[in-house]
Amino acid sequence: MKLLMFEHCSLCFRVRMIAALKDIPLDEQVVLDDDSEAMISLVGKRVIPILVRDDGTPMLESMDMVDYIEAMGAPVLTGPQKPEIADLCERILKITPYLTMPRYPLLGLPEMATIAAHDHYLVRKLKVYEDFVALRARTREFIGALMPVLEDLDEQIISANAVNGALSKDDIRLLPLLRSAAVVHGLAFPAKVDAYIKTMMARTGFKPLPVI
Ligand SMILES: N[C@@H](CCC(=O)N[C@@H](CS)C(=O)NCC(=O)O)C(=O)O
């Protein structure tokens, strides 16, 4: 199986995470941000992640990819899912892009390895987001908005090994968002959230993203 991905992409990390947890090999191929053709030639549009199955069929939905990999061999996502965790993920996602998007171009990520790819990302994102310098200058404000959400999450975490006590799709939704949020220098996660991130990242075997 081949995964077309960006290193910073949290939806991609869902797929990488389940494959890692199940010890299933995944051929990870990072796409340069300006290489739209790599995606369009496969699925007719610009979208990431794309999972190309061994029979050549491309898949376009990250949670379908998770289900597909989870169906291989013994299941690992055997725990319960809770609406509270889905709600918290949505609350996190309302704030974190303002912190993470303006930082990704500074991290030396492989999808921005050329100046053309780097600038392609900037041009794309600056159609949607405020000037990145201005956003980074508002870091304290966004961290201030995020902290109560992370405190609420802290109260919900049952184990550092699985948010609901046993691995479930809630972990697949949550860990990638926290991995992204962890790029923000000065963001002090509440104790249980911090332990959860460290333990779960160690379980996946992936290094955290750089911090800035
Ligand atoms: N529902 C899809 C959403 C995929 C998606 O929105 N991907 C974003 C990146 S996170 C994308 O392709 N954006 C267009 C781009 O990067 O040009 C999934 O869960 O996989």
Tens-digit pLDDT profile for residues 134-175: 999 999 999 999 999 999 999 999 999 999 999 999 999 999
CA of 77 to the centre of ligand 1 (A): 23
- Name the pTM for this structure: 0.97
| 91-142 per-position pLDDT tens digit | 999 999 999 999 999 999 999 999 999 999 999 999 999 899 999 999 999 9
How far apart CA 158 and CA 48 sit, in angstroms, is 32
67-96: pLDDT as tens digits: 999 999 999 999 999 999 999 999 999 999
46 lines ligand 1 (CB under 6 A): yes
Q: Which of 6, 11, 30, 121 to mutate to test the pocket of ligand 1 (most atoms within 8 A of CB)?
A: 11
Element (H, E) at 18: helix 10-21
CB 100 within 8 A of CB 180: yes
Is the CB of residue 11 below 6 angstroms from any atom belonging to ligand 1?
yes
